[in-house]
Amino acid sequence: MRLTDEEKRMLAGEQGEALRLSLEVLTRIGEVYGAERLVSVSSVHASCMYPDFGAAVDILEKFRDLGGKFQTVTTVNPTVNPDNVNRWADLPEPPELKSASTRQMSAIRSMGVIPNWSCTPYFQGNLPRVGECVSWIESSAVIFANSVLGARTNRTTMGIDVASAIAGRAPEFGLLLDGDRAGNVLVKVEFEPQTMFDFNTIGYIIGKACSGKVPVIEGLPAWTTANHLKVMGAAAATRGGLALYHAVGITPEAPTRRKAFRGKSPEFDISIKKKDLKGALDDMNTIKKGGVQAVLVGCPHPRVNEIKELTELLDGKKVREDIKFCLFISSDVLNFSRQMGYIDVLEACGVRLFEGDCIVFHNVNKWGWKNVATNSAKYACTLPSGPYYLGVLYTDIKGCVDLATK
């Protein structure tokens, strides 16, 4: 790789051990992928990963102990929030999980993270423009940054995010370059999706059919919002490992079909009809027997309008004693929703708030859960596998509320 004089000095350790180590990690990754240089990144979205993995604590403490400071705007994914563990004592966690999480939070805070604790950093002020190079982790955020914002990031893994944040740089390869951003599969949506749930399900279908590809999607309605694309992308990324799609007339690199393919032809094309939704629902409904112990809402973290809808559906009702209704939510949306009166209503109904948190970090099996209901295709794809092994009922938000209150 060709390094600048400043980067050579960093790699020689002249600007401290944390920068030296960060440069070493980034250049080694760059060499593997044939990067010719490092490029500046204007933002990072980092992750604490799984706090019950000792290595996940070690990485953050290593960079912190070497004097690491984030040079770039850096936000962070949800984690086990000890306040939630304390509050919901009937869903107990081992003390080691709480202390590991506390150590991670402390280490990443002292390096200068913006403590948004959310998988939707683009709604919390981490908002790169079209063409901006960034270094993000979290598959649903990566696909949003690349597709909806037109920013450029590879799927970053553990430790590389922190090295990028400290060095303010990333190796230039893959989705940072024009070539890998061309669409290669055509997806025609042949009906008008109506709801967030439809977009969720369409995302699943695209992920399943286009694994590892860059789909170009035609037929999404003009009223499609960033929030619809948030859930669609999350499902596609989880089901198929996608990191980028283009939606013609909707996303910035796809003003036309031709531009989205960058002059190339699609390798294959698929069409999605209204009747295909049913098959996807059947795929994601994995309950073998028995009832549901919990309803999980908030994946990816919701916006205020989703909280409003949930409040209107739940108002005047009560969550059943035998069901835990868990809402995963970022601090900013929680704050605004509280000011708007929604949170008082939700808490009175018996909804459990998990601020800055996500179910994937929790020991759900120790809580005796066998089956859950969710409106999230991402959860529906994730939770049937280990270490969770949950059966899932995938249904829209009204279905979730009906089930929890009937």
Partner 1 sequence: MEKIVIKGRGITSGVAEGEAMVTKEAFGFSHGLEPYTGRINDEYHEWLGQNARGKVLVFPYGKGSTSGGLYILESVKHGNAPAAVINVEVDPVIAGGFIMAKVLYGKEIPVVDRLERNPTDVIKPGDRVRVDANKGVVEVYR
Nearest Cα neighbor of 226 from 120, 91, 315 is 120
Residue 174 CB, shortest distance to partner 1, in Å, is: 8
Compute φ and ψ for 163, nearest 5 degrees.
-60, -40
Reported as half-sphere exposure (CB side, CA atoms, 13 A), residue 119 has a value of: 26
Binding mask 52-91 for partner 1 (x = CB under 8 A): -xxxx-xx--x-----------------------------
To partner 1, the closest distance from the beta carbon of 98 in angstroms equals 19
The DSSP H or E segment spanning 269 is strand 268-272
Q: Quick one: which segment of 215-223, 300-308, 334-342, 385-393 binds partner 1 (CB under 8 A)?
A: 385-393
46 contacts partner 1 (rule: CB under 8 A): no
Supply the minimum distance, in Å, between the C-beta of residue 223 and partner 1: 33
Residue 254 C-beta: closest distance to partner 1, Å = 25
Q: What SS3 class is residue 76?
A: strand
Query: Is 1 or 158 the residue whose CB approaches partner 1 more closely?
Result: 158
Query: 319: which 2 tokens?
Result: 């969550």
Under rule CB under 8 A, residue 50 binds partner 1 = yes
- CA nearest to 201, candidates 140, 280, 141: 280
Mapping DSSP to helix (H, G, I), strand (E, B) and coil, where does residue 149 land?
A: helix
> Which one, 17 or 322, has the nearer CB to partner 1?
17
Asked if 208 touches partner 1 (CB under 8 A), the answer is: no
Is residue 32 at the binding interface for partner 1, with CB under 8 A as the rule? yes
What's the CA angle centered on 283, arms 279 and 286, to 5 degrees?
Answer: 140
Q: Which range, of 17-25, 109-117, 274-282, 350-358, touches partner 1 by CB under 8 A?
A: 17-25
117 within 8 A of 330, measured Cβ to Cβ: yes
Smallest separation (angstroms) from partner 1 to the CB of 320: 32
Give the one residue of 10, 11, 21, 134 binding partner 1; rule: CB under 8 A. 21
Nearer of residues 158 and 313 to partner 1, judged by Cβ = 158
- Looking at the Cβ atoms of 56 and 310, the one nearer to partner 1 is 56
Binding residue (CB under 8 A) for partner 1 from 289, 290, 385, 406: 385
The per-residue DSSP string of 208-243 comes to HHSTTS-EEEE---TT--HHHHHHHHHHHHHHH---
* Matching residue, tokens 């601090």: 331
Residues 46/126, Cβ–Cβ less than 8 Å = no
Residue 387: is the preceding peptide bond cis (ω within 30°)? yes
Taking the complex as a whole, how short is the minimal distance between the CB of residue 357 and partner 1, in angstroms?
A: 17
36 binds partner 1 (CB under 8 A): no
Residue 265 CA to residue 375 CA, distance in Å, equals 35
| Site for partner 1, residues 135 to 164, rule: CB under 8 A | 137, 139, 154-160
When binding is defined by CB under 8 A, the residue of 11, 29, 44, 134 that contacts partner 1 is: 29
Task: Classify residue 28 as exposed, middle or buried by CB count within 10 Å of its CB (0-12, 13-18, 19+).
Answer: exposed
Which range in 50-58, 202-210, 371-379, 394-402 contacts partner 1 by CB under 8 A? 50-58
Burial bucket for residue 316 (CB in 10 Å: 0-12, 13-18, 19+): exposed
24 near partner 1, rule: CB under 8 A: yes
Contact call for residue 316 and partner 1 (CB under 8 A): no
288 binds partner 1 (CB under 8 A): no
Per-residue x/- track, 217-256, partner 1 (CB under 8 A): ------------------------x---------------
Positions in the binding site for partner 1 (CB under 8 A): 21, 24-25, 28-29, 32-33, 49-50, 53-56, 58-59, 62, 137, 139, 154-160, 241, 385-387
